[in-house]
Amino acid sequence: MTWLATARYGLSPAPGGLGFVQDLLNTRSAGRPRQPDLLADATSAQGWADGALAAWTEGTGQDVPAVVVGEGDLDPLRDLRVDLQAHVAGSGARAPEHQAGVVLHLGPDGRVRPEPRGSGWRALASLALIAIAEAQSADTWRRLKTCRNPRCEAAFFDRSRNNSGTWHDVRVCGNPANLRAYRERQRSGNN
């Protein structure tokens, strides 16, 4: 399974549907070096959505209908991404409330499964909110984080035992930041 936006940062995806939320966050222009914004125009957004829906189906085993992303879907989808970014980064900023259509379906195996509703950005928001609700239930939502490096901020899934990861890649973003902090401590200690 390939989450296109996440793969371009060389990151391993979050499990199940949470990979969709991670991938949505990674559509933004982030990382080192900077990657293009995949929601910049309808063509690139449609390419991302097609790949993300295929990865969703592969990762969750749940088929989802195709979504057509038009120009009118770009601003609401980018707004959702910004609000999710604020939540994941723990910025403390109160993000606006988001609603999406979801239907609960009782399957032949007796399990209740949420199914997204809507078209365009609303269908994608439905998938994101379904994934978040399931991740919160499984207590994996708190492991989705953004890199603490302000030049990067790529979304990653923290697989550390104690959930203490702060960098998407310690070698790329952590070591330079730690070195800067060390040098600053040395300078302030010598004054």
- List the one residue out of 87, 92, 89 whose CA is nearest residue 166: 89
pLDDT-derived band of residue 189, with 50, 70 and 90 as boundaries?
confident
Q: How far is CA 48 from CA 85, 94, 104, 113, 180, in A?
A: 18, 28, 26, 25, 36
The pTM assigned to this predicted structure is 0.86
Q: Is the confidence at residue 156, as pLDDT, over 80?
A: yes
Q: Is the confidence at residue 1, as pLDDT, over 80?
A: no
Tokens of 181: 């902090």
* Amino acid 15: pLDDT: 94
Q: Is the confidence at residue 46, as pLDDT, over 80?
A: yes
What is the percent of the chain where pLDDT is above 90?
53
Q: Is the confidence at residue 31, as pLDDT, over 80?
A: no
